[in-house]
Structure 1
Amino acid sequence: MKASENIVGLIPAAGLGSRLSPIPCSKELLPIGFQVHPEHGEDHPKVVSQYLLEHMRRGGASQVYVILRKGKWDIPDYFGDGSQLNLHLAYLLMQRPHGCPYSIDQAYAFVKQSRVLFGFPNILFEPGNAFEQLLHKQKTTAADVVLGCFKVSSPHKWDMVKLQAGGIVKSIHHKPEHSDLAYAWAIACWGPRFTDFMHTYLQQQEVRLQSSGAELSIGEVVQAALNSGLLVQSVCFANGNCLDVGTPKDFRKAIKILS
């Protein structure tokens, strides 16, 4: 396999978890549901971020980079090197506090020649082969980015996606107060061209963000890529579902579904 064909996972885990605060651990380690543990048997608690790691493994990633902030040492202490999940896990520290894109850009030197699977550790989603479908769409369309899109009931919590025929993404609307759009994106895959674009774009935006104190979202970077002519495609999971468990209401809902 060529270096450009390597598949890696990329997970931002540098957030403070303020919507659920106070909690006794990093939000990525909140137990939701149960599993058969190889050492401890059945009905062992399963932490929320493990679902994403398993999705990435099914999608073909053997190496996953997790971006932390200082103090969140309970995450590497819990997952270790990833061997229990048949993964190789590596941990990097967030350096620039300007939003999620700057966190994952810490992995640039390690992922710049790879196909990247991206997801948020606090978002649960189905189907189980979602990343495989995204990678297939990228391969068949030569897209720079493919977004996995799901129907949501609260557009103001999500990046809503406006689509054209064939699944081409026309625009991304970051947490609109009101929206007639049906689909939000929750996962993504991309290739080296977008990784390079994001790395350069973030360098260009850093001075402005330092002076304003604002933060960028991944969706805003994808929109900038669209504006620059990169091809962004989508896979819409009309019969799938996704749930952001980062709020008390949805955390409680997830527990009911998976318990």
Structure 2
Amino acid sequence: MWGIIPAAGQGTRIQPLAFSKELLPVGVRRDGGTERPRAVSEYLLERLALGGATKVCLVISPHKADILRYYGDRVDGVDIAYVVQPRAAGLCDALFRACPLVGPDEPVAVGLPDTIWFPEDGLARLPDDRFSFLTFPVDQPQHFDAVVAGPDGRISQIQVKAPEPASRWIWGAFKMPGRTFHELHALWRERDREDEYLGTLVNAWIARGGEAWNAPLGTGYVDVGTLHGYREALTLLGALEPTGRP
């Protein structure tokens, strides 16, 4: 299974930094008896691996060679590949840069590298054979992409940063078959690549008869891309010590 990490963003909400925002130290990692700072994107790599990913594609900008130096070609048994998004052009553009790597019969899992969420094995609980979103309850869903779904779990709409969203559940990661990934890419190209946000593309997919499913399994979600979120993450992780798990 492929994991895809869109890591080409400029991180304007938390700049200035002397390094890519995906390498922002948050918490610690224990290697044997040694502790070291842990980059925020390591949390997502861990969750992708727990979800079944054996290879991960990091989508980076031309100015983020520090990510390549940090991770190299392999992390904890997971092979790492890199593709370049030449300029900032939105989440959809970043994700579909990985299309040449993904076979139609390979599942794909995607998360955001500046987030920390629980449970750690959330992606592992999603099926490989359908398009499913791992969703989380938050207090201010208007700042995220809210997921509206029926009692059967079928998603009817994703509301992108709506002022008054109809749901307090937001998506934090998703999984789909490789064939669906390529079908979404084809739809994005058919729509003249106008979709910057994934939510608008998924809404068009649903309007065409495509299916997407809600998996409201999340118990905690923090966006570390802002100073407020960074502080929340430190508080959350501090509350989990010494085990590091909820």
Give TM-score scaled by structure 1 length. Answer: 0.86
The counterpart of 2:184, out of the listed 198, 223, 242, is: 198
Distance in structure 1 (CA, Å) of the matches to 2:93 and 2:166: 30
Task: Give yes or no for the alignment of 1:163 onto 2:143.
Answer: no
> Post-superposition shift, 1:97?
3.9
User: What SS does structure 1 have at the residue aligned with 2:190?
Assistant: helix
Aligned pair partner of 1:257 in 220, 229, 236: 236
Q: Distance in 2 between matches of 1:254 and 1:112?
A: 35
| Structure 1 stretches lacking a partner, 5+ long | 1-6, 210-214
Pairs aligned (count): 237
Partners of 1:8 and 1:63 lie apart in 2 by 5
1:134 deviates by 1.2
Out of 218, 224, 227, which is 2:204 matched to? 224
Q: Distance in 2 between matches of 1:100 and 1:159?
A: 13
Question: Tell me, what secondary structure is at the counterpart of 1:184?
Answer: strand
More helix by share: 1
Using the size of structure 2 for normalisation, the TM-score is 0.91
Determine what percentage of the aligned residue pairs are the same residue.
28
Q: Secondary structure at the match of 1:54?
A: helix
**Using the alignment, how far apart are the partners of 2:206 and 2:178 within structure 1?**
15
Residue 37 (1) aligns with residue 31 (2): yes
RMSD: 1.6
1:181 aligns with 2:160: no
Distance 2:221 2:183 in 1: 28
CA contact (8 A) 1:151 1:183 kept: yes
* Among 84, 99, 109, the residue aligned to 1:93: 84
Residue 127 in 1 paired to residue 106 in 2? no
Q: Does 1:235 align with 2:215?
A: yes
Paired residues of 2:44 and 2:111 also in contact (CA < 8 A): yes
> What residue in structure 2 maps to residue 81 of structure 1?
73
Secondary structure of 2:101's counterpart equals helix
Give secondary structure in 2 for the equivalent of 1:49: helix
Amino acid at match of 1:245: V
Q: Structure 1 residue runs of 4+, over 3 Å off?
A: none
Q: Specify the alignment match of 1:46 in structure 2.
A: 38
